[in-house]
Chain A
Amino acid sequence: MSKKRKLGRGVAIVGAGMSNFGMFPDKDSKDLFAEAYAEALSSVDKGFDPKDIEAVWIGNFSNDFFVHQAHWGPIIADVAALAPKAVTRTEGACASSTLAMRDGLMAIASGMYDIVLVGGVEEMSKCTTEEVTEGLALATSPYEGQSGYTFPGVFGALATAYFDAYGAGREHLMNITIKSHENAPLNPKAQFKQTIKDLMDAKKARAEKKGKPVPEWKDEKEALWDPSFNPPVAWPMHLYDCCPISDGASCLLLVAEELAKGFTDDPIYIVGYGQGSGRGLHACPSLTSFEANKNAAKEAYGLSGLSPKDIQFAEVHDCFSIAELIHVEDLGFFEAGEGYKAIAEGATRRDGPMPINTSGGLKCKGHPVGATGTAQMFEVWKQLRGEAGERQIPGKDLYIGASQNLGGTGGTCTFSIFERR
């Protein structure tokens, strides 16, 4: 029997900010974080004095590699004009900023601090695609790297195992891609704001202009099957199964529960958090699930006293289409092997019973890896407060949302549950 856990005291989000995500040759990590931080400060309904921030946690995976600068903690604290306050950099590959949130959560719950800033940043687009592929591959397990695996390669291998185990195929993963591209045009901060149909029309127009044969696709899936539209990267992962290379930053202002109403009448409480670690493909217990997810879900549901049925919507880490499918099963939203069928019926669409990645997901919103975790929470914050604009989940009174973040090839997984009271 595992012991029932409880935070020493409650913690709430009272402000949240996110830079635009995309490829920004004229902005660096400091500029991006400043953009996110300015929005977070101005989002606090009753006003916020930055002098009250007592400590900072900042997630960053690999700016060391991407822009040849390490030790990002003090650089970011300085951007926010917060030196000499304490700052700590957290690293969990693509889950780096969720780890920053976790440290802030634990620090407040313990009584060490009352008010902290947590967030993340990554600056990837100054590298070539080959360099980014190399940089990201540093976060695979060592044996995978030596066998020629890339990031998409590991997820491609998981997809073949899933297809074989449950009878799914590429056409099922396409449903995830099409759905993400339907949500993204409604998110003004997203990197790709086009639907698959928009992209098909653009390709047809280009062909016509150049006097080349104009492709005749009858629908989105026919285009996605066409390698001239959707070339393979690491079969069965094709271009439209993969998230892009992005720059961006995001952050949250966390405060002790008893202080929250002084900042806003509508704080968002962090009621569940869990995290897990995982081994490589050679040693993980299953090739159709992430062991780190299972541990994270068990911890987060245990801490919150909630179950999968209670979660009304979630942002999950769709670095690759197959990842979204595995996550929604690992977290208990759907039974193992059933997720792809529910997705085909529209269950995870914005107007479906279990909306997933209303932001457009990593696929379309973008994935500046160190910024992604707290950016997912930014979307949950927006949705729970009814501030998601055109992409607001329709027809539901939202009070419980969640975010799931994955680092590496499943080496780190986190699951966070948020409540509006």
Chain B
Amino acid sequence: MEDRPFSDISYRKFLDEDKLMGSKCKKCGQVYVPPRHFCYECFSEDMEWLEMKGEGELAAYTCIYVGPAFMIEQGYDRKNPYCTGVVKLAEGPRIVGRIEGVDVSKPESIKIGTAMTAEFLHVGEGEDVRSFLAFKPV
């Protein structure tokens, strides 16, 4: 099994490898994505890695017209907004991620409860590549 630390750094490295990983408390079974050091339910720090299937449903979303610098660099602005959201995973936890494959010009047409599947975006090249978790409708 994986022996990486249950950290945000590990979580992001897994995204580089097209894996959505969480931690499962070995004591009480609670699942966390991203991984956690301590369990909220039983305060145990005895965790194991668990790979998510990447399936879930849309729980909330927003279409952003004024984004942060790194999104502007990716070509998004008032004329080209992007969608980001919250997805409730089949395994139980929620996770935030970009929402692709929806009509951002008609935000009202995007429906909470839509079945979603994960995809992994890799932006940039070589050493500078950054990975982003995204979801698209099934």
Interface residues of A (CB under 8 A from B): 129-130, 133-134, 137, 142-150, 152-154, 156-161, 164, 231-237, 280-283, 287
Contact = CB atoms under 8 A, between A and B. Distances in A.
Given A147-B132, A281-B94, A157 B65 contact: no
10 contacts: A133-B68, A142-B8, A144-B96, A147-B98, A158-B60, A161-B112, A235-B81, A281-B94, A282-B93, A282-B94
Contacts of A134: 68-69
Given A148-B71, A160-B60, A160-B61, A281 B96 contact: yes
Given A161-B112, A281-B86, A150 B67 contact: yes
Nearest to A144: B96
A164 B61 CA distance: 11
Contacts of A161: 59-60, 86, 112
Which among A149, A237, A282 has the greatest number of chain B C-beta atoms within 10 A?
A282
Interface string B91-112: 0011111100000000100001
B63 A282 contact: no
Contacts, number: 111
B30 to A, nearest CB: 11
Interface string B1-24: 000000010001000000000000
Contact of A282 (B66, B68, B95, B113): B95
Contacts of B59: 161, 287
Interface in B35-86: 59-72, 76, 78, 81-82, 84-86
Contacts of A152: 62, 64, 66
A235 B132 CA distance: 21
Nearest to A280: B96
Contacts of A233: 64-66
A145 B64 CA distance: 13
A153 B60 CA distance: 11
Contacts of B69: 130, 134
B33 A282 contact: yes
B34 interface: yes
B8 A150 contact: no
A273 B65 CA distance: 38
Contact of A147 (B33, B72, B94, B97): B97
A282 B95 CA distance: 5
A133 B86 CA distance: 21
Contacts of B116: none
Contacts of B62: 149, 152-154, 156-157, 159-160, 234-237
Contacts of B72: 130
Given A148-B64, A283-B94, A160 B84 contact: no
B84 A148 contact: yes
B25 interface: no
